[in-house]
Chain A
């Protein structure tokens, strides 16, 4: 473990700034994707709660399937973001 202090506001190069802006674009795009999925789940539960009782796959209801999908999707999108940002 290092014991060195680390501060904020270090000077950044133009290349670093471009990388930061690119990563922010990736982040916001993936955020928008997840927001749609999450928003769909919340709105479905709010305004059509009976729909999530349906069992479309494996005899498991939509409430559970969608919930698991949200958790797995979060991890997949996080990995995608990590991969996109690996050289930036």
Chain B
């Protein structure tokens, strides 16, 4: 679908970017020391930190990815919401206070607090960088997906803009500015998602009985890059045509044509007994190099839309094969264990003054994040029935839902989605620069640096990570952003959680055990992902059948194998090295 240059959106976007940059430069003087740059001097109020948790965590994957997945496939996207939120229970009840007690700037500090091991520092830093890069990709992809409709600019321009702004935010005031940008973003996201949900409920459902709304649409991309829609050049000029927006209700209960306003539970009740038009796509490549994608309408009972198992990633739920079911179990385990292992989330525990503040801020975070995730189901289903979706791009479902109400709301939601990317990416860049400067250069390589030098090098590292994020965001343009985050969770949970948990609960843990567990967890989960059918299909470009044949591992989600493998490695290596190493207290 083509998008028009939207002046309102540019205005709101510019305003929000200006505010975030003003915050960053205003706070810049508070990040002159390493403590200020990496941990905001430990002086952030717990409530601000709690909302900033939401701003940090509710990434493009949560807002754009989950809403898009629900809008295109129904309930399945909500499984991600549930898993993402459940992970905070591990963070609060198991990790939050010990991490605050043991650490200083980075996740490696906490792991290494009792050992002073260069091996732990090295492996923890590498794990931080790997997880952060995997997490950065979907954020940057989401940024590109947003800028296209906002400015009518190509994907790569959006990615580069976000990269440049985020680097400015981080370089100006490190964790201080990052925290307040995340606080602003978290507040705006939760409030405006609630507003959008109220508008969805007030609008209710209307049957779209225009026959053209259920006609198939065909997109041809010629070998030279020209795009045709239904055989006609895509565009808005004479002799050109564009894709129709999609997303409609084809039948309402009792043959009604519209419902009027509905209540929060009535919303699901009505949808349950309605029929919704979903869209299925099939792509063929011709000998001349052109690709033809046909989008076909699939009238689907609401009861099927509201049950799990429609999305390809969750098909295993309804499969008779045990391995397919394991794939789902594995994903839900990774989401549960992943949150408390994400380096950019963990470093937020160092920005408050004590353990009580760490605890209280996590509770605020759970409240804000949980409320938002409840809303995702309304937003996704609202988009599904809004008549405004781009059949070619699930990541745009939430902003286009807003456009179905009015252009100003579209502008605001798009700008908020943009800050969503800014907030999360800035947190990831701070975590990555901490890993490079504090863990690798200062602690592992033992490079002597004055405090001010440390900050300067951290800023250079931030620029480098920002450039890497831009390049990856451009390369991975076509991926659903939520899907990629699932990978980051699997790697984080496999590499980091076993060490964190065992350090706290098993006195036999040794430094060699921790080092080995991080290495094995990270390599095994990364290797599993790279050799999975999903990666062969979505990254290497294989057809579904060829990908299934080429895959080396039996299912795509690694967590159910690689998380226990991390624990097992730690236990075995710790037992083998027990007599030769100092033990954890």
Contact = CB atoms under 8 A, between A and B. Distances in A.
A6 to B, nearest CB: 4
Nearest to A6: B42
A8 B265 contact: no
A75 B377 contact: no
Contact of B367 (A20, A75, A85): A75
Interface residues of B, number: 64
A18 interface: no
Interface stretch (B128-136, B305-313, B452-460): B305-313
Contact of A72 (B36, B97, B363, B370): B370
Interface in A1-54: 1-9, 20, 23-24, 27-28, 30-31, 34-35, 38, 41-42, 45-47, 49, 52-53
B86 interface: yes
B265 A60 contact: yes
A49 B318 contact: yes
A59 interface: yes
B104 A34 contact: no
Interface stretch (B325-333, B436-444, B467-475, B531-539): B325-333
B563 to A, nearest CB: 14
Contacts of B356: 85
Contacts of A68: 374
B171 to A, nearest CB: 19
B293 interface: no
Nearest to A42: B332
Contacts of A75: 366-367, 370
B103 interface: yes
A20 B101 contact: yes
Interface in B39-90: 39-44, 75, 78-79, 81-82, 85-86, 88-90
Nearest to A64: B268
B359 interface: yes
B93 interface: yes
B272 interface: yes
A interface majority secondary structure? helix
A52 B307 CA distance: 7
B263 to A, nearest CB: 10
A83 B309 CA distance: 38
B176 interface: yes
Nearest to A60: B268
Nearest to B104: A8
A79 B370 CA distance: 13
Contact of A61 (B98, B303, B367): B303
Contact of A82 (B33, B104, B359): B359
B85 A74 contact: yes
Contacts of A20: 97, 101, 355
A81 B353 contact: no
Contacts of B355: 20
A46 B329 contact: yes
A8 B86 contact: no
B584 interface: no
B269 A59 contact: yes
B92 A5 contact: no
Nearest to B27: A1
Contact of B104 (A7, A41, A81): A7
B82 A27 contact: no
A26 B360 CA distance: 15
Contact of B359 (A34, A59, A81): A81
Nearest to B336: A38
Given A1-B41, A71-B85, A8 B308 contact: no
A25 B360 CA distance: 17
A72 to B, nearest CB: 7
B113 interface: yes
B332 A4 contact: no
Contact of A4 (B42, B97, B176, B269): B42
B44 A1 contact: yes
B35 interface: yes
Nearest to B92: A78
A61 B41 contact: no
B317 interface: yes
A75 B355 CA distance: 19
Contacts of A38: 86, 89, 336
Nearest to A66: B82
A37 B1 CA distance: 42
Nearest to A68: B374
6 contacts: A2-B353, A3-B33, A3-B35, A5-B35, A8-B110, A20-B101
Interface of B: 30, 33, 35-36, 39-44, 75, 78-79, 81-82, 85-86, 88-90, 92-94, 97-98, 101-104, 109-110, 113, 176, 265, 268-269, 272, 303, 306-309, 317-318, 325, 328-329, 332-333, 336, 350, 353, 355-356, 359-360, 362-363, 366-367, 370, 373-374, 377
Given A63-B75, A75-B367, A85-B356, 17 more contacts: A3-B35, A4-B41, A8-B101, A9-B102, A35-B89, A42-B333, A46-B329, A49-B307, A49-B308, A59-B268, A61-B268, A63-B308, A71-B373, A75-B366, A78-B366, A81-B92, A81-B359
**Nearest 4 CB-CB pairings of A with B:** A2-B43, A27-B93, A6-B42, A59-B269
